[in-house]
Amino acid sequence: MQPLPPTFAERDATVVAPELLNKLALVHGRLARITEVEAYTADDPASHSFKGRTGRNAAMFGPPMHWYVYLIYGMHHCLNLVTGPEGEGQAVLIRSVLIDGVDPARTVGPGRLCRELGVHRSFDGSFAELFDDGIAPPGEPEITPRIGITKAADWPRRWRVVRP
């Protein structure tokens, strides 16, 4: 178990996202293995940072290797890792994770995993504790278009671990 250095996140979201697969995030004392991610950059019409900095997305423009958490649909939280040079407004959305001893159905989907891990808005802007346990992903990462959004949905910026 080796902690990932902050430099890990100091690169473009499209580079960090696939590397994030099978890494471990420590959230509220629990380890979650990342199995699906999605990259968002400032030039992406679907990104919160597209229209510039606002009160809500401030963390996205903050230092990388920190969490950006927002509330969506008035009820679901989404967890993002801020990446890229500070101030650029890049992030990687964590879409699915696996936790030992927890039914995968509870941790597949951005809203679900936040509920399971107890991630809420107060987590916004905190340092992201990420680890690498050296275990390789079970298969080649699969690159697919994004889902659940209306703008630029066909951009191939979603990565997930293919089940063995």
Other Cβ atoms less than 10 A from the Cβ of 114: the count is 23
Contact between 75 and DNA by CB under 7 A: the answer reads yes
Of 98, 96, 60, 54, which Cα lies nearest the Cα of 81? Answer: 60
Contact region for DNA (CB under 7 A) — 1-9, 23-31, 38-46, 134-142? Answer: 38-46
Of 73, 49, 50, 46, which Cα lies nearest the Cα of 59? Answer: 49
Q: Which is nearer to DNA, 23 or 95 (CB)?
A: 95
Backbone angles phi, psi at 83, to 5 degrees: -130, 180
Contact between 41 and DNA by CB under 7 A: the answer reads no
The nearest distance, CB 6 to DNA, in angstroms, is 20
Contact region for DNA (CB under 7 A) — 24-32, 45-53, 136-144, 155-163? Answer: 45-53
Residue 12 contacts by C-beta under 8 Å, 6 or more apart in sequence?
Answer: 39, 41, 83, 84, 90
What's the longest Cα–Cα distance across the chain?
42
Of the candidate residues 51, 133, 138, 143, the single one contacting DNA (CB under 7 A): 51
Contact between 1 and DNA by CB under 7 A: the answer reads no
Residue numbers of the site for DNA (CB under 7 A)? 38, 40, 46-49, 51, 54-57, 60, 71-76, 78, 80, 91, 93, 95, 109-113, 121, 146-151
